[in-house]
Structure 1
């Protein structure tokens, strides 16, 4: 019934502080929510939330649906309506929007007064706690069930009227309570066979204020209005009613925030024979006239004055006696009695050791800190806050003193961290200076390396050109060697030819010698000229052959001489090429030596840089 708009809640914990029940609010996922096991729906959190984060729901939406469905509806109007509305206008509004009948709960309050007196007369209790206020009933059932035995088992005015309508007048329509109270929904939920809906004044005006303003103030209740039951809604209203019939009754009137402390400390600890006969107790400080679901801004003194005038105009001793005689004759007390249920959720009691652990977590390490009891968290005591944390209903971060102590600790840590940071900054400054020197040296070394690399690049370029020249020279030399090889082969062939020719000439010479011998012989036989002629012919042929061979030899010798003449030229060229290759190799060797020197220079610079860097690492390590 009571909810929280998380978008509006600022966690100010005012709802904790105004709540009469320690654990009726809890922290859930960093938001405050109601704890239905303990919430008594007193409405204090809704009334006191300055941020409008708390709100309640009633049955107005269900009423709208029933009105649209044309259901048979009966309105019963609380006595406090006379303080919040022009009662004639309200009755006309209810009839206009669809209610078939409208009854006055003040009549039910008259029945309640009669039932109280009958119950006391019959059962003779030492003391009873009045129960028209559902928030009080919720409190006793959920928080202090040991008081249930004192809670008078007589129905409230709302229920007395509803029972009267259903049982005695045989009304069949759905009963809707026009209510000043959020908690009435709890009471209604116990008796759904009698009352169906709780529609509060606030909701009614939010939906029908314009129509209400147009209604004439001449509406009348169905059946009869209440008698002094009209006074029930103001503080002490029940007391006024009872005293009209039992003037010697000891009745204590109490309302507002002090009622819970009174029940916890005073009433429970007072012997029964010294307790008041009736405790006329209401949750709201100004009674139901300014209940938890009212929006009335009229000063309470004006309301009391109007109620006093109403009482003055209502008092009629004859009617009063006749009314109760009629109740005695027609009503049965048992029809208007009820019972209550112990709804208390018993939380385990934490041991002192467990509480000490919580206090330790809250930084409450001394007895003084454990009893600061500033109530900023919403609880009356630090112990209550520790219990809430133990039950998982809150967290230490919502303790302002924890945050303060934590701030002191963290502030000290920050001071120490700041000192460390200052030392580090000084080291950083020193390191920066060393780094600047290092960077300068690195820059110088980089320039040297860059220059050396450029020179190496030029050297490699020249080296490439020399290698290319050597390659060309070698290619030319190979060509020359191939040419010499061909010349040599050709010379060998010519020499073979000359050798063959020489053999031929030798053979010719041998033959000529033989022929000469034969010619000599034949010439000795001169007379035989024929044979000489043959010889002569042969010698002539030999001469011709010699001539031919000689010509061939001459030609070959001429070619041989030409080839022999070319050999020096080829040799000269080969020697020149060899010299060029040798010179290129010398240049290449010089370039290699120069590149080696530059590489050694670069290596030296890199080693120097490494030494500088390693020196910085050693400095850091020492720190």
Structure 2
């Protein structure tokens, strides 16, 4: 099942998604961006930065509406980030609003977070793991399993609060109950479908989905009844969505201290840097809270309200949420009954790396023959030309993604046309400033390209036609213009280029054709002159034998006169052509 929908018709080859994807899980195929599902950690960054909205999230909203319309028992597992991302006067109003939509019950995911906290506390108490990385964030789990499989032994073998809560609710309510997770995370959709714990979460909705649904039904949370949640008070575990929230929950729950140093890291780049440090062996004996979203879940990819400040949300939640742990007597019975363990696996893709010779061959294809040709500009989305070459070899990228190379190639082709075309090419702006002037123009106007590019068109020819084309945006096609002062004639095509707001013209040299036409016309004039002499001679003869010829003479004169006119008319038509 797809999670992020990609609309190819909207992709404009800007490569912004690649530039912003830290793990480079976007490939370019046939000049269009495609997400590689086996390498994507679903951070949602590509959706957020795409200027054309070519990538959108596939929603489960219709699926959930179907559950409710069919009368199936459907329960919401409400992520604790609701406290900062939804507007309400009292917490119970959210329960009241969601029940109005038809949900059987609304339970806080923080209830599952309390169970996860208990598992973390147990791991800290046992002290068997050298370093422990929290596994509440599915994006972090994917990051390690796909890109840092050597760190899998450091992942806490514990499910996320969402899965723990789903398992708890299914056990309590029956496995025919539909459990819908509501939160700000995209990666939760993939986690819900994971075969390792499939069946505990039936659908995932975002706060964007629920706000749209409430709007459709005309329901305002602030005006809804305050209905208390039926779950036990999760207390400090409501802090999970803010940075340092997991550590705060663990410290509040621990009865005894441990030897682990506590550290929280958020943001993909920071998470990757930390993974590199752990790999290098510089981080030992740590309990690390890790989240791919900068600031934690309260800044998830599906938080679209720009007015929401994650800093204010963090402060507000830390001030209002009680720091007391959930009593052990409420947790132990559940822990004895259910297991919340998880097994992580190596999902790193097997990719063939190019040899040095193959990389150099790819470099040659993009005009990089010397080290200084490797600009490492990053315009293609890859940090270095070498990374891009490797991606090309692995068929994740294409040669024409190199912007400097394509620009140079386009300029070369443009210059080739200007240098080799037998026709004069002129480009001017609205002020008639010459922007381009083909080399052949020097032969006709006596101006080199370098000279012409410093001049205005009216400095050597009449710009009237160019000005008319610019003003009207209409074209002139096949107009004959002679330049007596320069000694040649042209056939001109002049057009307005809207995208560049300029006028482009091509002058075809027709001097030779005009000379031949003139010579042909002169020959016809000689023929006409000869015919007129014949007519005159005929008339002289006709006068002598007028009595004998009668009307025949008049007919002869008329016929010959028509012949002369016909020859003249034909010459005039040739001149027009």
Do both share a fold (TM > 0.5)?
yes
Q: CA deviation at 1:259?
A: 2.8
Residue 260 and residue 223 in structure 1: after superposition, are their counterparts in 2 closer, same or farther (change >3 A)?
Answer: closer
Q: Secondary structure at the match of 2:439?
A: helix
Aligned pairs for 1:86-101 within 5 A: 86=88, 87-101=91-105
Q: Secondary structure at the match of 2:47?
A: helix
| 2:201 is aligned with 1:195 | yes
Q: CA deviation at 1:193?
A: 1.8
Q: What's the counterpart of residue 245 of structure 2?
A: 237
Q: What's the counterpart of residue 29 of structure 1?
A: 30
Contact 1:118 1:333 in 2 (8 A): no
Residue 213 and residue 228 in structure 1: after superposition, are their counterparts in 2 closer, same or farther (change >3 A)?
Answer: closer
Residue 437 and residue 402 in structure 1: after superposition, are their counterparts in 2 closer, same or farther (change >3 A)?
Answer: closer
Pick the aligned partner of 1:410 from 378, 391, 413: 413
Q: What's the counterpart of residue 291 of structure 1?
A: 300
Q: What's the counterpart of residue 54 of structure 1?
A: 55
Contact 2:97 2:225 in 1 (8 A): no
Q: CA deviation at 1:255?
A: 0.2
Aligned pairs for 1:167-182 within 5 A: 167=171, 170=174, 172-182=176-186
| 2:326 is aligned with 1:307 | no
Q: What's the counterpart of residue 226 of structure 1?
A: 234
Q: What's the counterpart of residue 152 of structure 1?
A: 156
Q: CA deviation at 1:396?
A: 2.6
Pick the aligned partner of 2:169 from 165, 172, 175: 165
Structure 2, unmatched stretches of 5+, are 421-437, 447-485, 490-508, 536-577
> 2-side partners of 1:432 and 1:98: how far apart?
81
What value does the CA root-mean-square deviation take over the aligned residues? 3.0
Q: What's the counterpart of residue 82 of structure 1?
A: 83
State the number of aligned residues. 449
> 2-side partners of 1:373 and 1:175: how far apart?
48
| 2:352 is aligned with 1:348 | yes
Residue 423 and residue 348 in structure 1: after superposition, are their counterparts in 2 closer, same or farther (change >3 A)?
Answer: farther
Q: What's the counterpart of residue 387 of structure 1?
A: 390
The one-character-per-residue Cα deviations of 1:577-615 (angstroms, maximum 9, x if unpaired) are xxxxxxxxxxxxxxxxxxxxxxxxxxxxxxxxxxxxxxx
> 1-side partners of 2:232 and 2:175: how far apart?
15
The one-character-per-residue Cα deviations of 1:428-448 (angstroms, maximum 9, x if unpaired) are 949855554543443344455
> 1-side partners of 2:515 and 2:404: how far apart?
53
Contact 2:241 2:296 in 1 (8 A): yes
Q: CA deviation at 1:333?
A: 8.5
Contact 2:242 2:295 in 1 (8 A): yes
> 2-side partners of 1:208 and 1:139: how far apart?
35
| 2:434 is aligned with 1:419 | no
Q: What's the counterpart of residue 379 of structure 2?
A: 376
> 1-side partners of 2:7 and 2:23: how far apart?
21
Residue 343 and residue 397 in structure 1: after superposition, are their counterparts in 2 closer, same or farther (change >3 A)?
Answer: same
Contact 1:89 1:212 in 2 (8 A): no
Contact 1:90 1:212 in 2 (8 A): no
Structure 1, unmatched stretches of 5+, are 458-623
Pick the aligned partner of 1:105 from 109, 128, 132: 109
Aligned pairs for 1:322-333 within 5 A: 323-332=327-336
Residue 456 and residue 71 in structure 1: after superposition, are their counterparts in 2 closer, same or farther (change >3 A)?
Answer: farther
Q: Secondary structure at the match of 1:33?
A: strand
Contact 1:251 1:276 in 2 (8 A): no
Q: CA deviation at 1:419?
A: 2.5
Q: Secondary structure at the match of 1:166?
A: helix
Q: Secondary structure at the match of 2:312?
A: helix
> 2-side partners of 1:212 and 1:276: how far apart?
49
> 1-side partners of 2:124 and 2:172: how far apart?
24
The one-character-per-residue Cα deviations of 1:142-182 (angstroms, maximum 9, x if unpaired) are 22222222221101111111222233565641111112101
> 2-side partners of 1:29 and 1:121: how far apart?
54
Q: Secondary structure at the match of 2:240?
A: helix
The one-character-per-residue Cα deviations of 1:524-558 (angstroms, maximum 9, x if unpaired) are xxxxxxxxxxxxxxxxxxxxxxxxxxxxxxxxxxx
> 2-side partners of 1:395 and 1:239: how far apart?
44
Structure with the larger strand share: 2
> 1-side partners of 2:16 and 2:225: how far apart?
40
TM-score, normalized by length of structure 1? 0.66
Q: What's the counterpart of residue 118 of structure 2?
A: 114
Q: CA deviation at 1:187?
A: 0.7
Pick the aligned partner of 1:269 from 259, 273, 280: 280
Pick the aligned partner of 1:256 from 267, 274, 277: 267
Structure with the larger helix share: 1
> 2-side partners of 1:423 and 1:252: how far apart?
75
Residue 441 and residue 141 in structure 1: after superposition, are their counterparts in 2 closer, same or farther (change >3 A)?
Answer: same
Aligned pairs for 1:339-488 within 5 A: 339-370=343-374, 372-410=375-413, 412-414=415-417, 416-417=419-420, 418-420=438-440, 422-423=442-443, 429=488, 435-446=513-524
Contact 2:5 2:55 in 1 (8 A): yes
Pick the aligned partner of 2:14 from 12, 15, 19: 12
> 2-side partners of 1:326 and 1:439: how far apart?
107
Contact 1:119 1:333 in 2 (8 A): no
> 1-side partners of 2:120 and 2:511: how far apart?
95
TM-score, normalized by length of structure 2? 0.71
